[in-house]
A = this chain, B = another copy of it.
Amino acid sequence: MRYTIFGESHGPAIGVVLQGVPSGLALDLEEIAFQLARRAPGKNALSTPRREADAPEILSGYFEGRTTGTPLAAVIRNTDTRSRDYAATRALARPGHADYPAHIRYGGFEDYRGGGHFSGRLTAPLVFAGSVARQVLAARGVTVGAHIRSVGAVSEPSFAAWGEPLSPALLRAVEERDFPTLSEERGSAMQEEILAARSERDSVGGAIECAVLGLAPGIGSPDLGENVEGILSRHLFAIPGVKAVGFGEGFGFAALRGSEANDALYMRGGAVTSPTNHSGGVNGGITNGLPLLFSVAMRPTASIAREQDTVNMDTWTDAKLTITGRHDPCIVHRAVPVVEAAAALAVCELLGI
């Protein structure tokens, strides 16, 4: 399965083409709508008030309720666009955004409205594609699920440190929460962190931890383009705002001794397993049968309401910018289904689906 996402925030539509979908899959359209709703803005004060129906129209690859195996294309029309928010400040590169690099890259021909092709809105077709991928994986016993690991200074335990064993049921329970944390108390504290940033006309970053359950050992290879970490990270870094990816202990490995980092192996019920999972389910680029565990860091939303120093790309002079319009003080909670989607698509690639 390979996907191609297209569209701009304020263009006619955004969408995705998904190639290599197995034929005969009875798509659960309600589940797709559920996943899109998890990502959708406009639900509360934690997000931008922009509201989009986000109702995908499937144009191809789907016949009589099942996938055909030919390319599956879906489009989502853009409706609630307020382009006038952007025209006035078109020439002012928003700090932290891609405005300046995009201006150079595309020669000034990029659609600047609402971030254009760089908009977080483009993650809607990614979630669509990921939801299809998750249904493909579910049929093979593979489950993907994530939780918010931290927002600003507030964190919650990792999957490994949480009291309950990692299971599809636990992942689904988190998934169904409006604010997907393991600990509801920690989740409330994170939401307060977001509201505090918002009240200070600021934004805040965070981290997401994701698990993939049900992967057999022996998948992947140490080689370039074939190793688990490389495939996953290639997909994860295509999510706007992701700036770091770590597997298992991730950057924590730097401070560990080998005796702390190695996962001892034991036979349990005829299978090789380990009471620890420091390596995050992968050694030498190959799955080891333990849950695949990784974390990503999301940068704080670049759009903040404070005045910022920047440059004018028409006159190439220094300028002051105060961003108006509708923006998320934090995208971490909305990014959870996006990380799950990218992970599911990556795992399909890994499995040769």
> Is A52 in contact with chain B by the CB < 8 A criterion?
no
> Is A182 in contact with chain B by the CB < 8 A criterion?
no
Residues of A18-33 whose CB lies within 8 A of B: 19, 23-24
Q: Mark A223-235, 1 if CB is under 8 A from B, else 0.
A: 1110101110111
Name which of A109, A118, A227, A302 has the most chain B CB atoms within 10 A of its CB.
A109
Residues of A237-253 whose CB lies within 8 A of B: 237-238, 240, 242-253
A253–B300 CB distance below 8 A: yes
Q: Mark A311-326, 1 if CB is under 8 A from B, else 0.
A: 1000011100000000
A286–B105 CB distance below 8 A: yes
A258–B301 CB distance below 8 A: yes
In the bound complex, CA of A300 to CA of B238 (Å): 29
- Smallest CB–CB gap between A331 and chain B, Å? 11
In the bound complex, CA of A6 to CA of B20 (Å): 12
Residues of A194-214 whose CB lies within 8 A of B: 197, 200, 202-207
> Is A333 in contact with chain B by the CB < 8 A criterion?
no
Q: Mark A182-201, 1 if CB is under 8 A from B, else 0.
A: 00000000000000010010
- Known contacts A245-B245, A246-B297; decide if A219 and B68 are in contact (CB<8 Å): no
From B19, B116, B240, B284, A102 is in contact (CB under 8 Å) with B284
In the bound complex, CA of A238 to CA of B232 (Å): 12
- Known contacts A111-B63, A243-B280; decide if A286 and B98 are in contact (CB<8 Å): yes
B230–A233 CB distance below 8 A: yes
In the bound complex, CA of A180 to CA of B109 (Å): 37
> Which residues of chain B have C-beta atoms less than 8 A from A23's C-beta?
105-107, 109-110
> Is A3 in contact with chain B by the CB < 8 A criterion?
yes
A96–B263 CB distance below 8 A: yes
Closest to A151 in B: B254
- Known contacts A302-B258, A316-B267; decide if A223 and B5 are in contact (CB<8 Å): yes
> Which residues of chain B have C-beta atoms less than 8 A from A61's C-beta?
6, 8, 117
Closest to A315 in B: B267
Residues of A108-158 whose CB lies within 8 A of B: 108-111, 116-118, 122, 149-153
B204–A257 CB distance below 8 A: yes
- Smallest CB–CB gap between A341 and chain B, Å? 12
Q: Mark A281-324, 1 if CB is under 8 A from B, else 0.
A: 01111111100000101111111101011110000111000000
> Is A73 in contact with chain B by the CB < 8 A criterion?
yes
* Top-3 shortest CB links A-B: A98-B284, A104-B218, A244-B246
